[in-house]
């Protein structure tokens, strides 16, 4: 782990840039970014909130109350540190595990949990499976499930902002697996040629479901990939909240000032399975997981905070309790959601529901009524 | 009123909307100074600058992926795919993303954009410069599919497509880019999406066609009229998806004898959908079985493309079948 933040020398190195060691101490030669107490505590809370939320969501999944969870456990510093490095007006094109960034940007917890329940609290009207977040007010764009497709979209959105003379930067998140996708290749190509204000954030958690990162690329580091596209790239310790924040912020501001688009490679680790449907013991070594558990990003930030006397075990426990209580309260609210209107089956395919869909729906509604699946508020479309 | 070719009408439509709306940007491979391989974008970079009409790297998924991002963020992108045959690297972006953004986001994110692309055979382009892939896209809810067959429609439909709130695939029949000419009004006008056009009146039978096949159908109808005195109606479908089903059913009921015509292969082709629609909702009006005239269920040939492509003789044979049944 090399020290120091934004120096050219460290940028050219393959070793991830770090600021804190796993004990929460400044690395030799590293500069303390001197974050304000409130800002740092907000980031810590953001990380903890993801941890507690993931635990709660996994429990709900085991109870059969929701369908699917893809946790960010172990990656909280990468998610929150990078999100905190963006301006609120910057756009996020996320992947599967960046929902915590939306929360950090102010996505209401009801909407987050509503999305996990895919019910009427979900702004996407239950159209997506669980764990596919969006938050329009926070410029957090809807993600599909298709790997890498969001990347050229981020370039296009950034290009649009640049054309209008806005100073928006688009953050395009991807995993280590997505660096193998065509979407990454064309996005990096276009970003470089167009000098689009984009920062690619490779959250390298070591695993694409069951395939290790070493089977995605023969490159010594995924950060090397930027070179051939003309994109400055650097590797960062993705479990180091400070490094994630400082380096993302610096890259985003360089890009905002007109610099070339950049790639940040955040080296972290997926502590849980790919999802609630995955059993990682089938393909990975328990010793590897054990080794990474000693590098836990939340524990590391906590140790630093303890050093500053900004948190202690009692306050940390109280914070966890507060976060969990909020989540439990929201779950109660969300579970009492009104049923989804049946017409959402055919709405939002186009701006207006075309005639053939109105007919298909009306025919379906007739049958739904016969079988008791419709409510009085479910009415046919005018033809 | 100026007389323009179909390709000139496309160019005129682009210039018209670009003058009116700063949000419209045009891009693709070779569309800049060269003006596109068919010159659809000729003069745009000169008039509007490289910010609004520009070349892209040679990557169709990049072109469409970037177009989606631009549309998400307030532009009205008009992306050119040089030949429809080259669109498949972008199939994922079109099918998984553009077509589904509105639906999957509950209407929070939308992608108003147009993908223009020359399609169809008849230019000795072989397998990879000749295909008609409309059925792939018509099978995808969320994207509209539009095909003009005249210069007037090309301009009016393209302007309507650019102004449409949903993504539109605009298939241009390249075989008739320069062979059809027609009067095209100057300035802004639209032809509404989702409507058919009756090209030729007649009550003895109807041919449904689109793109370059519309003129083939018309020639066949004239021939049948001259030789047999039967009047065959020709209907240009113009918007393949969403289709004006009412119009198709009305024409089918009024004539009772139906031929469906397209260049693309038959199996799971667009003609199957038209035939099924009529069979489901108007079978009792049919005086004869519905007949399809299509390309063969083969890759697109080269040397023998004139036999692969339906011509007026094959359409006349089909009309003979339905008229004498």
Distance CA A156, CA B73 (A): 8
pLDDT class of A13 with cuts at 50, 70, 90: low
CB spacing of B69 vs A122 below 8 angstroms: no
Query: Which residues sit opposite A235 in a β-bridge?
Result: A265
Is residue B55 within 8 A of residue B30, CB to CB? The reply is yes
Annotate B235-251 with b (16+ C-beta within 10 A) or e (fewer). bbbbbbbbbbbebbbeb
| Touching A: B residues 187-206, CB under 8 Å | 194
Q: Alpha-carbon torsion A250, A254, A255, A257, what sign?
A: positive
Residues of B assigned a catalytic role: 129
Q: Is B61 touching A (CB cutoff 8 A)?
A: yes
pLDDT of residue B10: 98
Instruction: Decide if pLDDT at A291 tops 80.
Output: yes
Give the strand pairing for B239-241 and B144-146. Answer: antiparallel
The verdict on a CB contact (< 8 Å) between A156 and B107 is: no
Alpha helices in chain A (DSSP H): 8-11, 37-62, 76-84, 99-104, 109-117, 150-163, 182-194, 225-229, 241-256, 286-293, 297-307, 313-335, 355-370
Q: Say which residue the tokens 């893809």 belong to.
A: A70
| Interval A212-233 mean pLDDT | 95
Which of the four pLDDT bands, split at 50, 70 and 90, describes residue A14?
confident
Query: For residue A176, what are the contacts with CB-CB under 8 A and spacing of at least 6?
Result: A202, A203, A204, A205, A206, A207, A208, A213, A216, A222
pLDDT tens digits along A56-74: 999 999 999 999 999 999 9
Annotate chain B with three-state secondary structure. CCEEEHHHHHHHHHHHHHHHCCCEEEEECCCCCCCCCCCCCCCHHHHHCCCCEEECCCCHHHHHHHHHHHHHCCCEEEEECCCHHHCHHHHHHHHHHHCCHHHHCCCCCCCCCEEEEEECCCCCCHHHCCCCCHHHHHCCCCCEEECCCCHHHHHHHHHHHHHCCCCEEEEEEHHHCCCCEEECCCCCCCCCCCCCEEEECCCCEEEEECCCHHHHHHHHHHHHHHHHCCCEEEEECCEEECCCHHHHHHHHHHHCCEEEEEEEECCCCHHHHHHHHHHHHHHHHCCCCCEEEEECCCCCCCCCHHHHCCCHHHHHHHHHHHHHC
Q: Give, for A175, the enclosing helix (H) or strand (E).
A: strand A170-175
Tell me how far the alpha carbon of residue B278 is from its chain's centroid: 21
Global pTM reads 0.97
Question: B291-295 and B205-209 as β-strands: parallel, antiparallel, unpaired?
Answer: unpaired
Residue B94 at interface with chain A, using a CB cutoff of 8 Å: no
Reported as a single tens digit per residue, the pLDDT across A326-382 is: 999 999 999 999 999 999 999 999 999 999 999 999 999 999 999 999 999 999 999
Residues of chain B neighbouring A164 (CB-CB closer than 8 A): 74
B101: which chain A residues are within 8 Å (Cβ-Cβ)?
142
- Return the half-sphere exposure (C-beta side, CA atoms, 13 A cut-off) of residue A209: 3
Domains B3-183 and B197-324 share a fold: yes
Q: For the residues A240-262, what does the mean pLDDT come to?
A: 98
Nearest to B105 among A142, A158, A160 (CB): A142
Check CB contact under 8 Å for B69 and A154. yes
- Distance, in Å, from the CA atom of B287 to the CA atom of B323, rounded to the nearest integer, reads 9
For residue A110, with 0-12 CB atoms within 10 Å meaning exposed, 13-18 middle and 19 or more buried, which class applies?
middle
CATH number of the structural domain B3-183 = 3.40.50.970
For residue A316, how many other CB atoms are within 10 A of its CB?
16
A7 pLDDT higher than 50: no
10-residue averages of pLDDT along chain B (325 residues): 97 98 98 97 98 98 98 98 98 98 98 98 97 98 98 98 98 97 98 98 98 98 98 98 98 98 98 98 98 98 97 98 97
Tokens of A120: 């009427």
Q: Is the pLDDT of residue A5 over 90?
A: no
Cβ-Cβ contacts under 8 Å, B81 against chain A? none
Is B221:B202 a contact under the CB 8 Å cutoff? yes
* Closest listed residue to residue A187, CA positions, set A239, A224, A146, A231: A231
A-B Cβ pairs (cutoff 8 Å, strict): 146
Cα angle vertex A27, ends A309, A75, to 5°? Answer: 75
**Contact between chains at A183 and B73 (C-beta distance less than 8 A):** no
Residue A11 pLDDT level (bands cut at 50, 70, 90): very low
- Mean pLDDT score, A216-240: 96
Contact A193/B57, CB-based, under 8 Å?
yes
The answer to whether B142 and B104 have CB atoms below 8 angstroms apart is no
Class of domain B197-324: alpha beta
| A152 near B CB under 8 A | yes
List Cα–Cα distances, B235 to A262, B155, B215, in angstroms: 53, 19, 11
Query: What's the gap in Å between the CA of B22 and the closest CA on chain A?
Result: 10
Residue A190 and residue B108: Cβ atoms within 8 Å? no
Q: Which residues of B touch A183 (CB under 8 A)?
A: 61, 65
What pLDDT score does A12 carry? 52
Element (DSSP H or E) covering residue A207? strand A207-208
Could you give the CA distance from residue B125 to residue A228 in angstroms, rounded to a whole number?
35
CB contact under 8 A, B243 and A356: yes
Q: Which residues of B touch A354 (CB under 8 A)?
A: 194, 242
Q: Kindly state the average pLDDT of the residues A8-35.
A: 84
Q: Predicted confidence band at A10 (pLDDT cuts at 50, 70, 90)?
A: very low
Asked if the model's pLDDT at residue A190 lies above 90, the reply is: yes
DSSP A47-65: HHHHHHHHHHHHHHHHTTS
Residues on chain B touching A163 (C-beta within 8 angstroms): 25, 51, 75
Record: contact B70-A157, CB cut-off 8 A: yes
Task: Render the burial of B158-191: b for 16+ CB within 10 Å, e for the rest.
Answer: bbbbbbbebbbbbbbbbbbbeebebebeeeeebb
Residue with tokens 């058919």: B196
Could you say which residues from 86 to 125 on chain A have a Cβ atom under 8 Å away from some Cβ of chain B? 91, 93, 122-125
DSSP category for residue A140: B
In chain B, where the domains are located: 3-183, 197-324
Alpha carbon distance A211, B283 (integer Å): 55
Hey, is A255 helix, strand or coil? Answer: helix
- For strands B3-5 and B181-183, give the pairing: antiparallel
- The dihedral over CA atoms of B67, B69, B73, B78, expressed in degrees to the nearest 10, equals 0
How far B262 CA lies from chain A's nearest CA (Å)?
A: 22
Alpha-carbon gap, residue B294 to B213, rounded angstroms: 10
């Amino acid at each position: 782990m090399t020290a120091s933040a934004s120096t050219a020398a460290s940028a050219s190195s393959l070793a991830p840039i770090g600021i804190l060691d796993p004990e929460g101490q400044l690395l030799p030669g590293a500069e303390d970014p001197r974050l304000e107490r409130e800002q740092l505590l907000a980031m810590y809370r953001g990380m903890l909130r993801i941890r507690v939320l993931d635990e709660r969501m996994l429990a709900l999944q085991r109870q059969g109350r929701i369908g699917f969870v893809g946790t960010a456990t172990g990656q909280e510093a990468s998610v929150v540190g990078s999100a905190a490095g963006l301006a609120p007006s910057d756009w996020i094109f996320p992947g599967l595990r960046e929902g915590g960034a939306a929360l950090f940007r102010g996505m209401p917890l009801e909407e987050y949990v509503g999305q996990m329940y895919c019910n009427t609290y979900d702004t996407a009207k239950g159209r997506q499976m669980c764990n596919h977040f969006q938050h329009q007010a926070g410029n957090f764009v809807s993600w599909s499930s298709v790997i890498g497709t969001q990347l050229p979209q981020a370039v296009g959105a950034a290009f649009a902002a640049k054309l209008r003379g806005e100073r928006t930067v688009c953050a395009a998140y991807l995993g280590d697996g997505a660096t193998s996708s065509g979407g990454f290749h064309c996005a990096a190509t276009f970003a470089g040629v167009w000098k689009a204000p984009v920062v690619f954030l490779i959250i390298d958690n070591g695993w694409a479901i069951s395939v290790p990162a070493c089977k995605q690329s023969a490159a010594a580091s995924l950060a090397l990939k930027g070179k051939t596209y003309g994109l400055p790239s650097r590797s960062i310790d993705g479990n180091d909240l400070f490094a994630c924040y400082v380096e993302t912020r610096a890259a985003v501001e360089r890009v905002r000032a007109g610099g070339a688009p950049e790639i940040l490679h955040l080296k972290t680790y997926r502590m849980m399975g790919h999802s609630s449907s995955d059993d990682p013991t089938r393909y990975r070594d328990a010793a590897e997981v054990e080794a990474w558990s000693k590098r836990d990003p939340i524990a590391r930030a906590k140790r630093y905070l303890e050093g500053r006397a900004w948190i202690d075990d009692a306050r940390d426990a109280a914070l966890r309790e507060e976060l969990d209580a909020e989540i439990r309260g929201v779950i109660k609210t969300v579970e009492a959601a009104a049923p989804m209107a049946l017409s959402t089956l055919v709405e939002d395919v186009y701006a207006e529901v075309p005639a053939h869909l109105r007919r298909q729906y009306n025919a379906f509604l007739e049958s739904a009524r016969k079988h008791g699946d419709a409510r009085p508020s479910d009415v046919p479309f005018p033809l | 009123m100026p007389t323009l070719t179909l390709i000139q009408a496309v160019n005129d439509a682009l210039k018209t909307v670009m003058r009116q709306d700063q949000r419209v940007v045009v891009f693709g491979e070779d569309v800049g100074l060269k003006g596109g391989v068919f010159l659809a974008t000729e003069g745009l970079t000169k008039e509007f600058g490289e910010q609004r009409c520009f070349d892209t790297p040679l990557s169709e998924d990049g072109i469409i992926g970037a177009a989606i991002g631009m549309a998400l963020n307030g532009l009205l992108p008009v992306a050119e795919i040089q030949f429809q045959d080259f669109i498949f690297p972008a199939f994922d972006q079109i099918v998984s993303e553009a077509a589904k953004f509105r639906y999957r986001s509950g209407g929070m994110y939308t992608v108003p954009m147009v993908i223009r692309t020359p399609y169809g055979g008849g230019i000795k382009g072989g397998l990879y410069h000749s295909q008609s892939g409309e059925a792939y896209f018509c099978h995808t809810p969320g994207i509209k599919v539009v095909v003009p067959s005249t210069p007037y429609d090309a301009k009016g439909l393209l302007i309507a497509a650019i102004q449409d709130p949903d993504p539109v695939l605009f298939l241009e029949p390249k075989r008739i880019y320069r062979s059809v000419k027609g009067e095209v009004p100057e300035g802004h006008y639209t032809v509404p999406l989702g409507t058919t056009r009756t090209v030729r009146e007649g009550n003895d039978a109807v041919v449904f066609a689109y793109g370059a096949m519309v003129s083939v159908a018309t020639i066949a109808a004239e021939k049948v009229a001259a030789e047999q005195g039967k009047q065959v109606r020709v209907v240009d479908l113009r918007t393949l998806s969403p289709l004006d089903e009412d119009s198709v059913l009305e024409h089918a009921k009024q004539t009772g004898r139906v031929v469906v015509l397209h260049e693309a292969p038959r199996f799971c082709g667009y003609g199957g959908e038209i035939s099924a629609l009529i069979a489901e909702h108007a079978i009792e009006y049919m005086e004869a079985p519905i007949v399809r005239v299509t390309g063969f269920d083969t890759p697109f040939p080269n040397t023998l493309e004139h036999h692969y492509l339906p011509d007026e003789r094959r359409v006349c044979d089909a009309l003979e079948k339905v008229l004498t049944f």
